[in-house]
Chains A and B, each alone.
Chain A
Amino acid sequence: MPSIKLNRKNLKNNLTAYAFCLPWLIGFICFTLFPIAFMFATSLTNRKLNGKSSFVGLSNYSAMFKSENFWNSCKVTIFFTIVMMAVTTVWAVIMAMLLNRKQKFNGIFQFFYFIPSVVPTISLAYAFRTIFGKDAGLLNYIISAFSGKNSSINWMYDPHTVYLVVFFVTLFTYNTGQMMLVFRSSLNDVPRELYEACDMDGAGAFRKFATVTLPMISPIVLFNAVTGCISALNGSFALLYPLTGENGDPNGMTQVLSLLIYKEAFSNMKVGYASALSVVLFFIACLFGIIIFAFSKKTVYYEN
């Protein structure tokens, strides 16, 4: 008798659990699973923006693999994602360490350091387009004032400086601010005694950082850095579309896949082809996902 009762109770509990999960299940099927299947199907057609389509087999893929723009875009996507991850992480660590220095006004400093992360990326993109402008840009003005010579560097169109600008702008994204806050609290968790032990040895600031701080916070840094990849993939459109346009000027140097997808689907109206590009982006994301998973297994816990 009790076992039957237990089973009934179990069944009831299980049903409750499934009922609670229902919204997710519906959402997962409708907004993730089905679109994935549909994306693969559409990538085999020559679908246009107006809805006309017919089956063309793998010809989108063969056109894609022959296209220079595509290979350039893949390269740029991976480069952009990894470098953005690296620079934002380093910058977040620097800001966190500065803020954790026990001094006055840290609250105010945190406000200034963090606010750019929560303002619209599009506003920042337009601001930087003009700050890095050639003729009336703020930066050239400052350089001119300090050097006494007229500086007219074409920051965003010069292949030598464009990446400098783009990655500088990524320091102002949500991702950086988030990491800064996370690092602040994990830096606080580093046991004081370890630093004191270092002081006894007479270690310099750099050695303290290398021997104590870095090892202690490295798991969290690593994890955040790699999840940053996903936000880099996802956020690149909102950042670069207003910053360098759908062609990824100059010379396609900043044309990440999301920009190319938008351009093919909406400017050239080749939705089928854009779906094939989406498939590639999907696999790139999966690749990063697998890497994250490998890291997280070693460093942090999902289950208990």
Chain B
Amino acid sequence: MHALKSKKRSTEILIFILKIFVALIMFSPIIWIFSGSFKEIMEFTTSPGIIPKNPTLENFSYIFNNSNYFVYVRNTVLLMGLTTLGTLISSSLVAYPLARMDFPGKRIIFAIIVGTMMIPNIALIIPQYIMFGKIGWLDSLLPMIVPAFFAYPYNVFLFRQFFRSIPKELDEAATIDGCNKAGIFFKVLVPISKPVFVTIGMLSCVFWWNELTQPVFYINSDKWRTLTIALMTTFMYTSGNAFVINWPSIMAASTLMIVPPMILYLFGSKFLVEGIKTSGLK
């Protein structure tokens, strides 16, 4: 009996050590980024120690002094805020009848929405690029912001799943009170779905904060660069030489970009984690 217990204990310890090991692996790139952002370029490209030999803040001051850093922040926040606002409004509107009303064509619409969820954006980006070029939207945030106001299938799908979980009796009670269908949405559903809006809003913010692909295609000039684009353009090369990569500057810019999602997780992990679970479960 004793032997069994100690065996169990040692497996527990083993598993705990394994956990620490996995945590080290998962967190290693972030540690590497943090440490790299305090190194001098010479040190970064010659010695791989984790603790910088001559810690310097030069990389951060390089970023703030040699670039329009706050313009990039503004663009990223603008992009994140407006797309999130747009998708919350439009996707919830579209999800409502799909979740809680019966009307002809519902099944077809829903099938199309699920179908379009499967088309990766990258497959359609070339025709969209030409299209947006024709109406003069290239080199602005519009190609990303405007579509958000016309319901992303994925978010419609999420909203629908959430709305379906709300008891139908609420609708009936509201109908008796004299609410019509539109009224039910605004008066009943929206107020009690606040956590859902927060959750999907957070997922959307995380996505757009990190989004690289679409800005790469649509943004040309410096004044509309987002932080992700700035990372691979403005901060990438040492000034004057386009062939020497300024690694520490990239790491410093990355550090600045990594911190906000971390804080979001620390303070909003309840919404974030719940939301992500739901998005993958159904």
| CB neighbours of B62 from chain A (8 A) | none
Contacts of B51 in A (CB 8 A): none
Whether B120 pairs with A285 at a CB distance below 8 angstroms is yes
Q: Which residues of B contact A138 (CB under 8 A)?
A: 28, 32, 48, 50
Cross-chain contact of A123 among B231, B262, B269, B282 (Cβ < 8 A): B231
> Could you say which residues of chain B place their CB within 8 Å of the CB of A30?
147, 150
- Residues of chain A within 8 A (CB-CB) of B18 are 98
CB pair A265–B33 under 8 Å, yes or no, is no
Docked complex: B116-141 residues within 8 A CB-CB of A: 116-131, 133
Contact of A32 among B19, B124, B213, B269 (CB under 8 A): B124
B276 & A27 in contact (Cβ 8 Å cutoff): no
A281 closest partner in B (C-beta): B123
Within 8 A of B (CB), among A123-168: 123-124, 126-128, 130-131, 133, 135-138, 140-141
Shortest Cβ gap from B257 to chain A (Å):
5
Contact with A35, one of B127, B210, B231 (Cβ below 8 angstroms): B127
With A120-B258, A141-B48, A238-B212 as contacts: A115 and B27 at CB distance below 8 Å: yes
Whether A35 lies near B128 (C-beta < 8 A) is yes
Flag if A124 contacts B29 (CB, 8 Å).
yes
Q: Which of B52-60, B63-71, B90-98, B193-201 contacts A (4 or more CB under 8 A)?
A: B90-98
B279 interfacial by beta-carbon distance below 8 Å: yes
By secondary structure, the B interface counts as helix
A-side contacts of B153, CB under 8 Å: 24
Interface on chain A toward B: helix, strand, loop, or mixed SS?
helix
Alpha-carbon distance between A119 and B45 when the two chains are bound, in angstroms: 24
Q: Is B22 an interface residue (CB 8 A)?
A: yes
A53 CB to nearest chain B CB (Å): 10
In whole angstroms, how far apart are the Cα atoms of A121 and B128 in the complex? 24
B20, closest chain A residue (CB):
A109
**Is B101 located at the chain interface by the 8 A CB criterion?**
yes
Among B250, B273, B276, chain A packs the most CB atoms within 10 A around the CB of B276
Q: Which of A56-64, A68-76, A177-185, A247-255 contacts B (4 or more CB under 8 A)?
A: A177-185
Report which residue of A111, A113, A121, A127 has the largest number of chain B beta carbons within 10 angstroms of its beta carbon. Answer: A127
Interface residues on B, range: 35 or more
Interface residues of A in 249-282 (CB under 8 A from B): 258, 261-262, 265, 271, 274-275, 278, 281-282
Of A31, A109, A278, the residue contacting B126 (CB under 8 A) is A278
Question: When A and B form their complex, what is the total count of cross-chain residue pairs whose Cβ atoms lie within 8 Å?
Answer: 276
A119 touches B122 (CB 8 A): no
B104 within 8 A of A: yes
CB pair A282 B29 closer than 8 Å: no
Whether B156 lies near A118 (C-beta < 8 A) is no
Q: Are B120 and A230 in contact (CB under 8 A)?
A: yes
Stretch from A36-44, A190-198, A208-216 forming part of the interface with B? A36-44
Q: Contact at B151–A123, with CB atoms within 8 Å?
A: no
Asked whether A24 and B124 contact (CB < 8 A) given A98-B22, A130-B36, the answer is no
Contacts of A278 in B (CB 8 A): 123-127
Instruction: Please give the distance in Å from A243's CB to the nearest CB on chain B.
Output: 11
Looking at the complex, which one of B109, B118, B182, B261 makes contact with A21 (CB distance below 8 Å)? B109
Whether A177 pairs with B32 at a CB distance below 8 angstroms is: no
Closest CB in chain A relative to B95 CB, distance in Å: 9
Task: Note all chain A residues with C-beta closer than 8 A to B113.
Answer: 24
B84 contacts the other chain (CB 8 A): no
CA distance A295 to B114 in the complex (A): 14
Nearest opposing residue in chain A for B250, CB measure: A126
| Separation of A42 and B123 alpha carbons in the complex (Å) | 13
- Chain B nearest CB from A304 CB (Å) reads 9
Q: How far is the CA of A30 from the CA of B150 in the complex (A)?
A: 9
Known interface pairs A121-B212, A127-B251. Does A113 touch B23 (Cβ–Cβ under 8 Å)? yes
A residues within 8 A CB of B115? 289
The reply to whether A103 and B15 form a contact with Cβ atoms under 8 Å apart is yes
| B29 engages A28 (CB within 8 Å) | no
Closest-by-CB residue of B relative to A237 is B213
Q: How far is the CA of A302 from the CA of B269 in the complex (A)?
A: 27
Report yes or no: A42 in contact with B126, Cβ–Cβ below 8 A: yes
Contacts A21-B97, A138-B32, A241-B216 given; does A233 touch B265 at CB 8 Å? no
Contact B121 A122 (CB under 8 A): no
User: Pick the contact of B228 from A17, A101, A122, A237 — CB < 8 Å?
Assistant: A122
Known: A16-B101, A35-B131, A120-B209. 4 other contacts (CB 8 A): A12-B180, A27-B151, A112-B27, A131-B32
